[in-house]
Amino acid sequence: MSYYIAKTVSGDFDDVIARVTEALKTLGFGVLTDIDVAATMKKKLDVEFRPYRILGACNPQMAHKALTVEDKIGVMLPCNVIVQQMDKGVEVAAVDPVASLGRVGNPALDEAAEAVKAMLARVVEAV
For the chain, domain boundaries = 4-126
Write the pLDDT tens digit of every residue in 33-70.
999 999 999 999 999 999 999 999 999 999 999 999 99
CA gap 93, 120 in Å, rounded: 9
CA gap 120, 56 in Å, rounded: 12
Q: In this prediction, what percent of the chain has a pLDDT beyond 70?
A: 99
The DSSP element (H or E) to which 79 belongs, if any, is strand 79-86
Torsion angle, alpha carbons of 99, 100, 103, 109, to 10: -90
Burial class (CB in 10 A: 0-12, 13-18, 19+), 61: exposed
pLDDT at position 102 is 85
pLDDT band for 110, please (50, 70, 90 cuts): very high
Which CATH code is given to the segment(s) 4-126?
3.30.310.70
